[in-house]
Structure 1
Amino acid sequence: MSNVIHIDEKWFYINPETRRFYLLPKEEDPYRCQQSRRFKIKAMFMGMIEKPLYDAQGHLIHDGKYGIFSFVFQQTAKKKSKNREAGTIETKTNQNINREAIREMLVNNVKPAIVSKWPANMPKDVVIQWDNSRPHQVPQDEEFIAAITQGGFNIRIVLQPAQSPDLNVLDLGLFRVIQSLQH
């Protein structure tokens, strides 16, 4: 398990309906940034963690934290509004997470995080454990394979068995903690 990295993604809603506020009698209601109950603002994040690595003396080699990446893109504003001028760069969430978005995330964020944080004295055989969601069908084109084998790394992606939520470390631990802190 010293070379297994767990990755998964999760939607986070900014203002869920289950959110409760306890206010004093003279306090105003908090500002909610959603414009409609039908169109909730949400963002998807991908997290990467691994078991911490220790040497023979018990010193920490690697803490196992690779990062949390968001599915966002930047776009210039087309019109002027009261909040910004036209032409200002805005960061928007990607609402359509498909195979191309997953592929782009693997090549542009996941692979560089592994390369930058992988311990130098460890073999470069990496196993990425992932849930068996439909957009996680790993691309097999030459460009993707060249990107994940660059730098001497041998990265394999292993999908979890279907209907096995008990194997997903991120859903059981990290994402639950983040969501409880958010609420």
Structure 2
Amino acid sequence: MYIDEVLPAIEEKWPREYAHETIYIQQDNAPCHLPLDDEEFCREACDGGFDIRLTFQPPNSPDLNEVTNSVDALIEAVQKSFDAFSAQSSNNIFLTLQSCMIEIMKVKGSNNYKIPHMDKEMLLRRSMLPKQLKCDPELFQETFEYLYNVEEM
């Protein structure tokens, strides 16, 4: 698998300007994995100017060991987090996202904008907090034309 699938994928996708640097493939310490000095792998891994080496992950490294929790525990944790997350928090997040999208349109895709503040808590208390923001039709048209012209360049 390493020689027929992994090495060709790395060689295809790896940026050429970094091809001279050593690339490490880290594998866990399972006995079914290739030994670090596998002759066939080492020969193929140096082909084409690459320096690809095998390494084992450090033993007893909790950040690198395979996940010890079961799928059931994961589902339970996600469900608990979902239950603790209020619909109002979700609405506030999406309102902020929408306001950022409008600001991004104003600056023609740049990230040079300030996140607008709507005072959502006050609007909520007054029952005036929107579920969604409206985009100015002129701004939408300007953005559409801008993107169309950029694509033609």
**Fold-level match, TM-score > 0.5?**
no
Which structure has the larger Rg over C-alpha atoms? 2
Q: Normalising by structure 1, what TM-score?
A: 0.32
Higher helix share: 2
Q: Normalising by structure 2, what TM-score?
A: 0.38
Higher relative contact order (CA 8 A, sep 6+): 1
Higher strand share: 1
